[in-house]
Amino acid sequence: MSDLIKSAAELLGQLRKSKPLVHSITNYVTVNDCANIILAIGASPVMADDIEEAADITAISSALVLNIGTLNKRTVESMLAAGKRANELGIPVVFDPVGAGASKLRNETTQTILSEVKVSVIRGNMSELCFVAGLGSNTKGVDAADEDISSGNARKIASIAANRYNCTAAVTGAIDIITDGKRIAAVSNGHRLLSDVTGTGCMTTALVGAFCGAGNDTFVAAAAGIAAMGIAGEIAYEKAGESGTGSFHIAIIDAVSRLDEKILRERARLNEI
Amino acid sequence: MSDLIKSAAELLGQLRKSKPLVHSITNYVTVNDCANIILAIGASPVMADDIEEAADITAISSALVLNIGTLNKRTVESMLAAGKRANELGIPVVFDPVGAGASKLRNETTQTILSEVKVSVIRGNMSELCFVAGLGSNTKGVDAADEDISSGNARKIASIAANRYNCTAAVTGAIDIITDGKRIAAVSNGHRLLSDVTGTGCMTTALVGAFCGAGNDTFVAAAAGIAAMGIAGEIAYEKAGESGTGSFHIAIIDAVSRLDEKILRERARLNEI
Amino acid sequence: MSDLIKSAAELLGQLRKSKPLVHSITNYVTVNDCANIILAIGASPVMADDIEEAADITAISSALVLNIGTLNKRTVESMLAAGKRANELGIPVVFDPVGAGASKLRNETTQTILSEVKVSVIRGNMSELCFVAGLGSNTKGVDAADEDISSGNARKIASIAANRYNCTAAVTGAIDIITDGKRIAAVSNGHRLLSDVTGTGCMTTALVGAFCGAGNDTFVAAAAGIAAMGIAGEIAYEKAGESGTGSFHIAIIDAVSRLDEKILRERARLNEI
Average pLDDT, chain C: 94
Give B147's pLDDT tier (boundaries 50, 70, 90).
very low
Please report how the helices B31-41 and B3-18 are oriented relative to each other, as an axis angle in degrees rounded to 10. 100
Tell me the chain A residues in contact with residue C258 when contact means C-beta distances shorter than 8 Å: 244
| pLDDT at res. C147 | 47
Among all residues of chain C, which has the CA nearest to that of B56?
A: C103
3 state DSSP class of B222:
helix
Q: What is the pLDDT of residues A131-173, one digit of tens each?
A: 999 987 655 444 544 444 444 689 999 999 999 999 999 999 9
3 state DSSP class of B147:
helix
| pLDDT at res. C137 | 63
Shortest distance, CA C131 to any CA of chain A (angstroms): 29
Specify whether the CB–CB gap between A137 and A103 falls below 8 A: no
Do residue A245 and residue C36 have CB atoms under 8 angstroms apart? yes
Give B25's pLDDT tier (boundaries 50, 70, 90).
very high
3 state DSSP class of B125:
coil
Give C1's pLDDT tier (boundaries 50, 70, 90).
confident
* Average pLDDT for B26-51: 98
| pLDDT at res. B138 | 57
* Residue B137 in this model has a pLDDT that exceeds 80: no
Residue C224 to residue C226: CA distance in whole angstroms: 6
Q: What is the pLDDT of residues C32-46, one digit of tens each?
A: 999 999 999 999 999
A40 in contact with chain B, both atoms CB, cutoff 8 A: yes
Nearest-CA neighbor of A193 among A255, A237, A231? Answer: A237
- CB-based contacts of B32, cutoff 8 Å, min separation 6: A32, C29, C30, C32, C33, C198, C199
Do residue C251 and residue A244 have CB atoms under 8 angstroms apart? yes
Do residue C196 and residue B21 have CB atoms under 8 angstroms apart? no
Do residue C244 and residue B46 have CB atoms under 8 angstroms apart? no
* Average pLDDT for B84-98: 98
- Strands (E) located in chain B: 21-25, 44-47, 63-67, 93-96, 121-124, 168-171, 176-179, 184-187, 270-272
- Chains B–C, number of C-beta pairs less than 8 Å apart: 97
- Looking at the partner chain, which of B39, B47, B56 has a beta carbon nearest the beta carbon of C196? B39
Question: What is the value of pTM for the model shown?
Answer: 0.96
Specify whether the CB–CB gap between A100 and A124 falls below 8 A: yes
Tell me the chain C residues in contact with residue A250 when contact means C-beta distances shorter than 8 Å: 250
Q: What is the pLDDT of residues C145-184, one digit of tens each?
A: 444 444 468 999 999 999 999 999 999 999 999 999 999 9
3 state DSSP class of A184:
strand
Specify whether the CB–CB gap between B258 and B252 falls below 8 A: no
Among all residues of chain C, which has the CA nearest to that of B249?
A: C246
Tell me the chain B residues in contact with residue A45 when contact means C-beta distances shorter than 8 Å: 141, 143, 198
| pLDDT at res. A30 | 98
Nearest-CA neighbor of A105 among C48, C100, C257, B164? Answer: C48
* Residue B4 in this model has a pLDDT that exceeds 70: yes
Residue A10 to residue C269: CA distance in whole angstroms: 56
* Average pLDDT for B251-273: 97
Distances (CA, A) of C150 to B45, C145, C176, C185, C222: 21, 9, 10, 17, 21
**β-pair partners for C22:** C45, C63
C146 in contact with chain B, both atoms CB, cutoff 8 A: no
**β-pair partners for B205:** none
B32 in contact with chain C, both atoms CB, cutoff 8 A: yes
Query: Predicted ipTM?
Result: 0.94
* Residue C130 in this model has a pLDDT that exceeds 50: yes
Q: Count other Cβ atoms within 10 Å, centred on residue C262.
A: 9
| pLDDT at res. C150 | 44
B59 in contact with chain C, both atoms CB, cutoff 8 A: no
3 state DSSP class of C35:
helix
Distances (CA, A) of A232 to A30, A242, A256, C63: 17, 16, 6, 33
| pLDDT at res. B21 | 98
* Average pLDDT for A106-110: 97
Phi, psi of A67 (to 5 degrees): -135, 120
* Average pLDDT for B222-232: 98
- Looking at the partner chain, which of C48, C57, C251 has a beta carbon nearest the beta carbon of A246? C251
Q: Is B135 exposed, middle or buried (0-12, 13-18, 19+ CB in 10 A)?
A: middle
Residue B102 to residue B138: CA distance in whole angstroms: 8
Among all residues of chain C, which has the CA nearest to that of A107?
A: C53
Give me the amino acid identity at B190: G
| pLDDT at res. C124 | 98
Residue C94 to residue C202: CA distance in whole angstroms: 11
| Subunit partners of chain B (3 or more CB pairs within 8 A) | A, C
Among A29, A76, A149, A239, the strongest candidate for a mutation testing the C interface, having the largest count of C CBs within 10 A, is: A29
Residue C111 to residue C99: CA distance in whole angstroms: 13
Specify whether the CB–CB gap between A73 and C50 falls below 8 A: yes
Give C6's pLDDT tier (boundaries 50, 70, 90).
very high
The number of CA neighbours under 13 Å toward the Cβ of A214 is 29
Tell me the chain B residues in contact with residue C251 when contact means C-beta distances shorter than 8 Å: none
End-to-end CA distance of chain C: 14
Do residue A106 and residue C53 have CB atoms under 8 angstroms apart? yes
| Subunit partners of chain A (3 or more CB pairs within 8 A) | B, C
3 state DSSP class of C133:
coil
Max CA-CA distance within chain C?
48
* Residue C84 in this model has a pLDDT that exceeds 90: yes
Tell me the chain A residues in contact with residue B196 when contact means C-beta distances shorter than 8 Å: 39-40, 257
Shortest distance, CA C74 to any CA of chain B (angstroms): 10
Among B74, B195, B239, B243, the strongest candidate for a mutation testing the A interface, having the largest count of A CBs within 10 A, is: B243
Phi, psi of A178 (to 5 degrees): -130, 135
- Chains A–C, number of C-beta pairs less than 8 Å apart: 97
**β-pair partners for B21:** B44
Give B39's pLDDT tier (boundaries 50, 70, 90).
very high
Do residue B253 and residue C246 have CB atoms under 8 angstroms apart? yes
- Give the sign of the dihedral formed by CA B135, CA B136, CA B142, CA B147: negative
Specify whether the CB–CB gap between A137 and A127 falls below 8 A: yes
Residue A256 to residue A110: CA distance in whole angstroms: 29
- CB-based contacts of B221, cutoff 8 Å, min separation 6: B11, B92, B121, B168, B208, B211, B212, B214, B215
* Average pLDDT for B148-158: 73
Q: Which domains does chain A have, with CATH numbers?
A: 3-272 (3.40.1190.20)
